[in-house]
Structure 1
Amino acid sequence: MFSPYGKIISEDFLWHTRGPKRGEPRGFAFIQYSTKEEAKLAKEKMHGRLACGRPLMVRLASEKYLEEAAAQNSSKAGCNTIKSGTTSTNSGQVSRSAKIAAIKNKLKALDEERDGAKKPKAS
């Protein structure tokens, strides 16, 4: 669906890894284009378009959010991780560990948001 708007460098689909929905899609993915312009065009053309009867929510990844996530991930105490932070290249790509940290933090925030909406309000 997204290939007409530019050269896709990578696609990362997220799947449930535990529980009764294990192996099922989480409902979102990350697509990396070769240029920022291609990504912007894809967002413009695909946001709101129906897929499987539901409108797509297309957003650009926030580089600031990725940097903050990488900093949080590398500063955890007691972890044997390599501090990678974000590594910029000429194409503005971010290191794999920073992307993973950002995805984990985003998933955690979404879970907390969902759990907060489910809690009954105290009278």
Structure 2
Amino acid sequence: MDSNNFNDDKLESRLYIGNLDLRITEAALIKMFSPFGKIVSEDFLWHTRGPKRGEPRGYAFIQFSSKEEAIRAKEKMHGRMACGRPLVVRLASEKYPVEGLASSKNVEGSRSGLSGGGCGQINRSAKIAAIKNKLKAMDEEGCKNSKKQKLNDESCADGSENPSAER
């Protein structure tokens, strides 16, 4: 039972820090959060593959020695501007607040095609639906264009000039 309490305390003293500007370094992040307590560990995430390999991913995790320190850091740093961007700071154990955002992201995703940003199944489903709708519209437009071409070809069978026909 003690090991469960230890793991719970560890999770509750771990912070997620998001919306990090790419110019923010590990050292700068530690310097920003060290006034709130003893930092036990820091995980700064980097792209490991692809064209962005070696670049920061834009988020990190910081582990404080106590839950109280983590909560204090969260309260003081959430929304604070760093390199022109507001930091997103929450306990790593907290689930991302989907209520309220779910319906707006779904509508936004289906309206604008592919909306960037958020995470979760709702946003992914909206993206998939938008892609399917776009492919269907393109397919229907392709059919209309081929019917128009066919009509143009038939109307020119009497020998008149067809400007769209290839020579």
Which structure has the greater CA radius of gyration?
Answer: 2
Secondary structure in structure 2 of the residue aligned to 1:48? coil
Unaligned 5+ segments in structure 1 are 65-108
Larger RCO of the pair (alpha carbons < 8 Å, separation 6+):
2
TM-score (norm 1): 0.55
Q: Rate the CA distance shift 1:52–1:16 in 2: closer, same or farther, 3 A.
A: same
- The structure 1 segments of at least 4 consecutive aligned residues displaced by more than 2 Å after TM superposition are 109-120
Tell me if 1:57 matches 2:88: yes
Cα deviation digits, residues 30-86 of structure 1 (max 9, x gap): 00000000000000000000111110000101189xxxxxxxxxxxxxxxxxxxxxx
> Number of residue pairs matched?
79
- Amino acid aligned to 1:19: G
TM-score (norm 2): 0.41
Identify the residue that residue 67 of structure 2 maps to in structure 1: 36
- Amino acid aligned to 2:70: A
- Amino acid aligned to 1:2: F
Q: Rate the CA distance shift 1:113–1:11 in 2: closer, same or farther, 3 A.
A: farther
Identity across matched positions, percent? 72
Unaligned 5+ segments in structure 2 are 1-31, 96-117, 138-167
More helix by share: 2
Tell me if 1:4 matches 2:32: no
Distance 1:37 1:115 in 2: 35
